[in-house]
Structure 1
Amino acid sequence: MPRPFILAETNWKHLKDESFDLAVLPWAATEAHNYHLPYATDTIEGTAIAEESARLAWEHGSKVVVLPTIPFGVNTGQSDIYLDMNLNPSTQLAILKDIVSVLDRQGIHKFMILNSHGGNNWEALVRELGLLFPKMFICVTNWFKMVEKKDIFENPGDHADEMETSLILHLAPELVLPKEHWGDGKEFKNKIKAFSEGWAWTERPWSKISTDTGVGDPSKATAEKGKMFFDAICTKMAKLFIDIAEADMENLYE
Structure 2
Amino acid sequence: MRMEDLTWPEFDRIKGKVKAVILPVGSVEAHGRHLPLGTDVFAPLELARRVEEKVKEKGSEVLVLPPVWYGHSFVLNTYPGTINVRPESLRMYVGDILSELAAEGFERIVLLNGHGGNIYPLIEAAEDVAELYPDLEVFLINWWMDFREEILSVCSSQGHAGEDETSVVLAIREDLVKMAEARGRRVKKKVRIIRKDIGRELFPDGVNDDPSGATAEKGEAILETVSIRIAEIILGGE
Q: TM-score, normalised by structure 1?
A: 0.83
Greater shift after overlay, 61-70 or 214-223? 61-70
- Could you tell me how far apart the structure 2 residues matched to 1:9 and 1:139 are? 24
Q: Which amino acid aligns with 1:142?
A: N
Partner of 1:251: none
Unaligned runs of 5+ in 1: 196-200, 248-254
Partner of 1:138: 138
Corresponding residue SS for 1:23: strand
Matches within 5 A, 1:9-48: 9-12=5-8, 14-19=10-15, 20-48=18-46
Partner of 2:92: 94
Matches within 5 A, 1:90-169: 90-121=88-119, 122-145=122-145, 146-148=147-149, 149-154=151-156, 156-169=157-170
When Rg is computed on C-alpha atoms for both structures, the one with the higher figure is 1
Show structure 1 runs of 4+ deviating over 6 A. none
Q: Deviations along 1:117-162, whole A, 9 cap, x unmatched?
A: 11112333322222233332122011112142321112x2311101
| Compared CA separation, residues 125 and 106, structure 1 to 2 (3 A) | closer
Aligned residues: 230
| Compared CA separation, residues 180 and 54, structure 1 to 2 (3 A) | same
Which of the two has greater helix per residue? 2
Identity rate of aligned residues, in percent? 27
The structural deviation recorded for 1:59 is 2.4
Q: TM-score, normalised by structure 2?
A: 0.89
Partner of 1:180: 180
2:217 corresponds to 1:220: no
Contact 1:21 1:108 in 2 (8 A): no
The structural deviation recorded for 1:92 is 1.6
Unaligned runs of 5+ in 2: none
- Could you tell me how far apart the structure 1 residues matched to 2:113 and 2:37 are? 16
2:4 corresponds to 1:8: yes
What is the alpha-carbon root mean square deviation over aligned residues?
1.9
- Could you tell me how far apart the structure 1 residues matched to 2:55 and 2:169 are? 23
Q: Which amino acid aligns with 1:181?
A: E
Contact 1:6 1:51 in 2 (8 A): no
The structural deviation recorded for 1:30 is 0.5
Q: Which amino acid aligns with 1:70?
A: V
Q: Which amino acid aligns with 2:215?
A: T
